[in-house]
Chain A
Amino acid sequence: QQPVQSPQAVILREGEDAVINCSSSKALYSVHWYRQKHGEAPVFLMILLKGGEQKGHDKISASFNEKKQQSSLYLTASQLSYSGTYFCGTVQGGKLIFGQGTELSVKP
């Protein structure tokens, strides 16, 4: 079953922050986050394997709340290069199923 992402789209000014949420009706054991630019393949951002785990690099970080069956991606002080579609993915039966995506646009 496909995880649900919110919001569907976000428009930011450079330097603003954003949060993208991913939730599942099924138990979550791991959550992946990818970013995809138009016409390109998804690029791996991070994977969270344990409930309560938080990860981050540069100004992009994520948290994983196993009990609530959700994960959130945090983008701080957004840059133009952050524009793209962000997908979360949850593992079901050993395979990765993607959410419907959140389109992020960062304007100068």
Chain B
Amino acid sequence: DAMVIQNPRYQVTQFGKPVTLSCSQTLNHNVMYWYQQKSSQAPKLLFHYYDKDFNNEADTPDNFQSRRPNTSFCFLDIRSPGLGDAAMYLCATSQRGGYEKLFFGSGTQLSVL
């Protein structure tokens, strides 16, 4: 089945140690999103790619970077994780942006020790 896959499901890192989360999709969608969701809060958009066009939210910390080497893969890099970066990170895709259904991966739960 076509889907959005996130690895790993759970990630533990140390304070200040760089970490990379990955997302892949078999839907061939143009748009890929990264959302951060903290406990009992709404998913918060960090950035998104429309094809190769990168769009950063104004309030996304510089500590967060993203790469999309091809249509299928997208990575979230956290250069120096702090305790406040512990959250669920959700990857989502859509074909033509927000006017269509978003397909979510199962998420990566990040813990920072």
Identify the A interface with B (CB < 8 A). Answer: 2, 29-30, 32, 39-44, 47, 49, 87, 89, 91-92, 94-101
Contacts and interface: CB of A to CB of B under 8 A. Distances in A.
B1 interface: no
Given A32-B102, A40-B106, A42-B90, A94 B97 contact: yes
A86 to B, nearest CB: 11
Interface of B: 33, 40-45, 48, 50, 55, 88, 90, 97-107, 109
A97 B106 CA distance: 19
A38 B38 CA distance: 12
A49 B98 CA distance: 11
A39 B90 CA distance: 11
A23 to B, nearest CB: 15
28 contacts: A2-B42, A29-B99, A30-B98, A30-B99, A39-B88, A40-B107, A41-B90, A42-B90, A42-B102, A43-B104, A44-B101, A47-B101, A49-B99, A91-B97, A91-B98, A91-B99, A92-B98, A94-B97, A95-B33, A95-B45, A95-B48, A95-B97, A96-B98, A97-B45, A99-B42, A100-B41, A100-B42, A101-B41
A101 B43 CA distance: 9
Contacts of B41: 100-101
Nearest to B104: A41
Residue among A29, A41, A43 with the highest chain B CB neighbour number at 10 A: A41
Contacts of B90: 41-42
Given A94-B50, A95-B48, A32 B42 contact: no
